[in-house]
Amino acid sequence: MKKVSFYTLGCKVNQYDTEAMIEIFEKNNYEVVENNEKADVYVINTCTVTNLGDRKSRQFIRRSRKNNPKAVIVVVGCYAQIASEEVMAIEGVNLVLGTNERSRIVELVESINEYDKINYVDNIMDVKEFEELEIDKVKGKTRAFLKIQEGCNQFCSYCIIPYARGPIRSRKPENIIAEVNRLSENGFKEIVLTGIHIASYGKDLKEASLLDIIKDVHKVEGIERIRLSSVEPTLLTYDFIKEIKALPKFCPHLHISLQSGCDETLKRMNRKYSTEEYRKIVENLRREIPDIAITTDIIVGFPGETDGEFECTYNFIKEMAFSQIHVFKYSPRKGTPAAKFENQIRGDIKSIRSEKMIKLGNELMNSYMNKFIDKKLNVLFEDYYDKKKSTIEGLTTNYIRVVAEGKEDFIGRIIKTKMREIKNDIMFGEIIDE
């Protein structure tokens, strides 16, 4: 039996794509091994959101070649898509696939001779159909990420992803629900709907919207939780909020992309909303869904960001009282408008701003979690936290990570747990309902 190894960088969409490709290889009688083992085929699923992602991709390509000089090295994903010639020039690469045609990966791998170098990347802007990479055999019994959408038409000035993933393409509703049914049959309790820009789901279809899909998933027996990956604030109209409020399975947690809390910075970023519009959305959510967890992404050090603009963002984030923020230092991406902007920010200034923002984020997270001390919340336990101490970990509906003493057969179940204390940004609780 031939062996294949995978290395995945980047987002949940990439992780989903990898799981689908793993299944394609398994159906063709390949054994999947760890990425530090000797294999016949190495598949590197790349990310290009930052320069660090590109660098890690190159490092692993070279490491794979050292593991087995005769292996077939396949590079897929966003970095491969936008810089296929650069990837092809890396010694040892045999096949470059990009972000399309991955359903043919085994066929293409098996057509390669030892010294072949094939660039199979096409023009992603010409691709109009969602590529089905469905997963039949699923691993684990907790949360399942389900890709329902591909591509992005937003073209934020800092972002390379529209060039790497192409225009928006929505998965057919019947294929989504078929996969949800398979996940339910395999014991999954929570579905996380994900995509490159899921707020645009259905805009290329006549028969469905994102809200329609959420409602259809809600009808599937066995599924007890529905969550969305990152969404644009413009999706969250008052009507949309009222609709999801009426769905008991919809988790009171939304990751709403912000990027900056300063209107001048948002304009340079080519974001499609103002801070006042964002504020009203958050107010509506908290009015309709009390205790909802609202998480977000922030970019610090965007070109032209003055001390005043940064302080404006800092104060806005404090006002919004997010339950968690992900902080990124701006990284220029070749081919994007922002990479050519004047007034690029020095690295040391980015680091100072990042540290200050991360500290604020930790304070806000602890403040949010503190509200639930001594309260009883339902936790979907996912895995061991410390097997030796018999502690397990999982998530509440409002995205608080909880650790508690528990038996192995509690993993994969939703169990009522009393919140006791916060240690190192993690909530520790006591299971009270078996």
Instruction: Give the mean model confidence (pLDDT) for residues 411-426.
Output: 94
Encoding tokens for residue 351?
Answer: 């680091």
Burial of 35 (0-12, 13-18, 19+ CB in 10 A): middle
Domain edges within the chain = 2-122, 125-229, 254-368, 376-431
Q: How far is 415 from 234, CA to CA, in rounded Å?
A: 34
Q: Given a cut of 60, is residue 331 above it in pLDDT? A: yes
Q: What is the pLDDT of residues 123-136, one digit of tens each?
A: 988 888 888 887 76
More confident residue, 262 or 144: 262
| Sheet-wide strand order for 72-77 | 30-33, 2-8, 41-46, 72-77, 95-98, 118-119
- Tell me the CATH number of domain 2-122, given options 3.40.50.300, 3.40.50.2300, 3.90.1150.10, 3.10.450.40: 3.40.50.2300
Which pLDDT band, with edges at 50, 70 and 90, does 364 fall under?
very high
Q: Which residues contact 364 (CB under 8 A, 6 or more apart)?
A: 317, 318, 321, 322, 323, 324, 325
Give the pLDDT score at 135: 75
Q: How far is 87 from 83, CA to CA, in rounded Å?
A: 6
Burial of 432 (0-12, 13-18, 19+ CB in 10 A): exposed
Encoding tokens for residue 106?
Answer: 């085994």
Instruction: Give the mean model confidence (pLDDT) for residues 286-302.
Output: 97
Strand partners, 431: 417
Helix (H) or strand (E) holding 57: helix 51-67
Q: Are 228 and 254 in contact (CB under 8 A)?
A: yes
Which pLDDT band, with edges at 50, 70 and 90, does 180 fall under?
very high
Give me the amino acid identity at 230: S
Kindly report which listed range (137-141, 208-212, 299-303, 405-409) carries the lowest average pLDDT score: 137-141
Instruction: Give the mean model confidence (pLDDT) for residues 314-327.
Output: 98
Q: What percentage of the chain exceeds 70 in pLDDT?
A: 98
- Tell me the CATH number of domain 125-229, given options 3.20.20.70, 3.40.50.150, 3.30.750.210, 3.40.50.1970: 3.30.750.210
Q: What is the pLDDT of residues 226-265, one digit of tens each?
A: 999 999 999 999 999 999 999 999 999 999 999 999 999 9
Q: What is the pLDDT of residues 42-68, one digit of tens each?
A: 999 999 888 788 888 888 888 888 888
Q: How far is 53 from 125, CA to CA, in rounded Å?
A: 22
Instruction: Give the mean model confidence (pLDDT) for residues 197-215.
Output: 94
Give the pLDDT score at 140: 64
Length of the chain: 434
Greatest mean pLDDT range, 13-27, 176-190, 365-379: 365-379
Q: Does domain 254-368 have CATH number 3.30.750.200?
A: yes
Q: Given a cut of 60, is residue 434 above it in pLDDT? A: no
Which pLDDT band, with edges at 50, 70 and 90, does 207 fall under?
confident
Q: Does domain 376-431 have CATH number 2.40.50?
A: yes
Q: What percentage of the chain exceeds 90 in pLDDT?
A: 82
Q: Given a cut of 90, is residue 92 above it in pLDDT? A: no
Q: Given a cut of 70, is residue 284 above it in pLDDT? A: yes
CA 139 to each of CA 35, 142, 177, 270: distance values in angstroms, whole numbers, following the listed order: 18, 9, 18, 39
Which pLDDT band, with edges at 50, 70 and 90, does 139 fall under?
low
Q: Given a cut of 90, is residue 84 above it in pLDDT? A: yes
Answer yes or no: same fold for 2-122 and 254-368.
Answer: no
Q: Given a cut of 80, is residue 141 above it in pLDDT? A: no
Q: Given a cut of 60, is residue 410 above it in pLDDT? A: yes
Instruction: Give the mean model confidence (pLDDT) for residues 111-116.
Output: 80
